[in-house]
Amino acid sequence: MNKKRRFSIGTLLLTILFILVIVLALQISVNDFAKGAADGWNSTGQLTDPDKIAVVTKVIVWVVFIAVIGTIIYLRIVRPVRKISKSMERVKEGNLDEQIKSLDGMEFGLIEDSFNSMVESLKKARELENDTNEKNRKLYAEIAHDLKTPMTMILGYARLIKEGALDEKTREQYLDTIIEQTGNANALLEEMLEYAKLGSTEYKLVKEECDIAELVRQVMADNYIRFEERNMTLDADIPQEPVMYSFDVAQMKRVITNLLGNAIKHNPEGVNVEVKLTDNRSSGEGIEILVSDNGPAIDNELKEGLFEPFRTGDDSRKTGNGSGLGLSISRKIVSLHGGTLDYSETKVPGYKSFVIVLK
């Protein structure tokens, strides 16, 4: 709203009062003039009733006054109110592109600003709702897809076992496959439950002051055998002195485990993985944890939604080697700690890195 065009109610009332004073003064002046003129005309025998002239004059003056006031009220009050009413009806019908323009009268300028701001907020809320619904639709489709694979295999092998025309070795193989696929489905369901739990407004972290450097070393030690099995090296650059920080031990352990697990699952054998922890809180940059590897870079298409749920490479999806929820869960956990988790290919030369920053 252009502030130069704002016209307050107080100004309107003062204007009406001013016009009323002018009208009263004009009425007195005209009335005196009419009486004087009537007396003059009466002496010549042309006019004998000055009171009638005064009445007619009053009527004319008040008609003019009412017309002026009515015009002001229509232009400054009635017309803006009608504009607002019509715009509200359009918004009620679902038209969120509606905007009120040029309400020049009084505080209606403030109403114009507030109304347009409200409609813009409603429009953004609708866009967010549509975007959320679309993401949920895709999420449900991915869940159905990832659960269908193990369920189909379990059903097929169970039917073959039921038919009974199998030797003992084949039967054992089929039972092992059923157990494996049941485990995959159960792991997926557990991660889905964890993802939903972390997204709840009622979920609270159980924080305690601990040495986060020691936690990272412990998780690396727990996963060391997995790196050896893949002929991968695991190097650490972690301070020996304690790095005290208030965090949820179980959840932060899950984050580091997920990132190390990703490095194992999504890289070929022989890759080098490095974990580095730096305490930059003295310079205001927080605690930085890097999990880096010199394996192949991530496809550009996959990078675009890397932290979205059920984003995995095709190979992982086909083999069931990853649910696609690990990075989403990890980012949620870090975010709940007030930190960030991002992907970088420039942080460490020749390496791709997942970067945790905890303030």
* Confidence band for 302, pLDDT divided at 50, 70 and 90: confident
Topology adopted by domain 208-358: Heat Shock Protein 90 (3.30.565)
* Confidence band for 318, pLDDT divided at 50, 70 and 90: very low
- Share above pLDDT 90 across residues of the chain, in percent, rounded to a whole number: 30
- pLDDT at residue 309, as a whole number: 74
The CATH code of the domain at 135-198 is: 1.10.287.130
- Nearest 5 degrees, angle CA 107-CA 113-CA 114? 90
Q: Calculate the alpha carbon distances from 7 to 15, 109, 110 in Å.
A: 11, 8, 11
pTM above 0.75, yes or no: no
Place of tokens 């159980």: 206
- 236-249 pLDDT, tens digit each: 999 999 999 999 99
Q: Do domains 135-198 and 208-358 have the same CATH topology?
A: no
- 81-123 pLDDT, tens digit each: 777 778 778 877 777 777 777 655 556 667 777 777 888 888 8
- 253-273 pLDDT, tens digit each: 999 999 999 999 899 999 999
Is 219:257 a contact under the CB 8 Å cutoff?
Answer: yes
Q: Which helix (H) or strand (E) holds 222?
A: helix 212-229
- 53: Cβ–Cβ under 8 A, 6 or more apart, which residues? 34, 35, 37, 38, 47
Helices in 74-107 by DSSP H: which ranges? 79-92
Average pLDDT, the chain: 79
- 170-211 pLDDT, tens digit each: 888 888 888 988 887 887 788 778 877 887 778 889 999 999
Is 232:268 a contact under the CB 8 Å cutoff?
Answer: no
Residue 240 backbone phi and psi in degrees, to 5? -75, -30
The closest of 22, 23, 52 to 37, measured between CA atoms, is: 52
Place of tokens 């193990």: 150
**Distance between CA 78 and CA 115 in Å, rounded?**
17
Q: What does the CA dihedral 130, 133, 135, 141 come to, rounded to 10 degrees?
A: -140
Ranges of each domain in the chain: 3-106, 135-198, 208-358
